[in-house]
Amino acid sequence: GITVGAVCVYPTRVTDAVNALKAAGCNIPVASVAAGFPSGQTPLETKLAEIKLAVEYGAREIDIVISRSLVLTGQWEGLYEEIRRCREACGEAHMKTILATGELGSLANVYKASMIAMMAGSDFIKTSTGKEVENATFPVGVVMMRAIREFYWQTGNKVGFKPAGGIRTAKEAITWLMLVKEELGVEWLTPELFRLGASSLLEDIEKQIFYHVTGSYALEHDLAMA
């Protein structure tokens, strides 16, 4: 009964992922990284076209990545407009906005970018693409969660949180769960409001489940997927 919250692929593989999941008889949503992932260094028109194509192919969730230059040069209105138009292009699909926090320069910028992303309609805010030198860290996570809490107090809207990049062990994942519970509350501990970027976690999660079931640690050939 253990499943992931979504299967995330590049836009060109959305159709393949949708068909594979349908053939397997499961309803796990397909998410797609769009909008110039991971650098964000493509024209806005290209980002919007990529988002629309991914949705057309069957993606039910879209992970966009912001233009870091808008944050670093203080173009906050421009950042809002970019995210708003991406949200519009997503249509019915849920949108996660990746802030690439390791490249924003300061925690103050992380907080401002978080607030603007939520104001522009993001369903989730996400720490990182996983491709930056610095990805999900606990200080950044606390700042983003406190922005989510403030936004909820001000508007009544609950926005999801997703740390991603560099989370490699089950113990780290549990620490993130604890942090979310303490900062945002138990109601955020659902797939609708909390996700973990888990691609690097697979091997350790498999190891821990194997140990729980068998009482011994797995050998390398026991975990083919990892």
Question: Encoding tokens for residue 1?
Answer: 């009964």
d(CA 182, CA 59): 32
DSSP code per residue over 171-215: HHHHHHHHHHHHHH-GGG-STTTB----TTTHHHHHHHHHHHHHS
* Cβ neighbour number for residue 19 with a 10 Å cutoff: 12
DSSP structural state of residue 165: S
Q: Which residues are catalytic?
A: 126, 162
Instruction: Look at the block and give the residue holding tokens 């997927």.
Output: 225
Helix, strand counts (H, E) of the chain: 8, 6
Sheet holding 124-126, edge to edge: 7-9, 30-33, 61-65, 94-98, 124-126, 160-162
CA dihedral sign of residues 127, 48, 200, 184 = positive
Q: Which residue has the tokens 């309609």?
A: 121
Please tell me the distance from the alpha carbon of residue 17 to that of residue 7, in angstroms, as a whole number.
8
SS3 label, residue 224: coil
